[in-house]
Amino acid sequence: MTSRCAQVVFMLTAAAGCAAAQTAEPKFEAVSIHELEPPWRVLGKKTVSGSLVTLEGYSVSMLAGEAYDKKRYELAIPPPKRFAYFSVEARAPRNTAGDPKLLQAMLRNMLAERFHLRTHREMRNVPVYALVVSKGGPRLKEGSGDEPCRQVSGPVIPTDRNYRISQENCPMETLIRMLGDADRPVIDKTDLKGRYDVSIFYTPNFRMTNGTEPTDISILDTVHQLGLQFEKRDEPMEIVVVDSYDDLPSGN
């Protein structure tokens, strides 16, 4: 009887161990982290080559955004006691670096182990700009439907004060990403599901830092050309809250 009980306990323990192994998040096999000295020439560059993952010019906040797949406004993190950018070189287990979800899990483990980063999630009301259709309806040119989305953003010539956003056969989500120069997050509430050709001009915020000019047009006004407009709202969002972290990583 005792032998059968012991056998059952062993089987249950082994099964629990297998389940834990299957659900455990993957970890990098090796990680090297170095603080970068100014001037910082490369910021936010991620490279995946085989099993080698390199993140160059990342702050702890940027690493957390990458690890939790959160935009800046979806991440609440205390300011660092000392600001720094880091270069991270990590070796992932075989056939895992190319999977975005597995890579994010490995980054979360790295942040917990090397920066002692601790988080929790909560719902918060976040001030946003909701992009909606104006009363007169949208004024958007339909795209071809077959060609891949092509986009360009920047001055027509380097000395131009205003920038042009040019898109061909792109969905609304692509335009939303390029409207990120506003002073709060932009979310799509247009319910427009097609692909469109867009060409609009606006004055980037950094161009107006030392004063405005009569020809300036804000990113908030330029969408009127498309029969769209921004509305200020508060939207509930899941926020990753960073409770604590170390400004410098533990040793390599």
H helix or E strand, kind and range, residue 9? helix 2-23
Tens digit of pLDDT for each residue in 202-229? Answer: 888 778 877 888 888 887 788 998 999 9
Residue with tokens 């880091």: 86
For residue 6, pLDDT over 80 is answered with no
The pLDDT-based confidence of 15 (bands split at 50, 70, 90) is very low
CA 212 to chain centre: 31
Residue 13: CB atoms within 10 A of its CB come to: 10
Angle between helix axes 60-68 and 100-114 (nearest 10 degrees) is 140
In this predicted model, which residue has the larger pLDDT, 175 or 86? 86
Dist CA 219 CA 178 (whole Å): 10
Going from N- to C-terminal start, the domains of the chain cover 2-115, 126-237
Percent of the chain with pLDDT over 90: 58
Beta strands of the chain (E only): which ranges? Answer: 30-35, 45-49, 52-58, 75-76, 86-91, 118-133, 141-142, 150-154, 163-170, 186-188, 196-202, 228-244
pTM score of the predicted model: 0.69
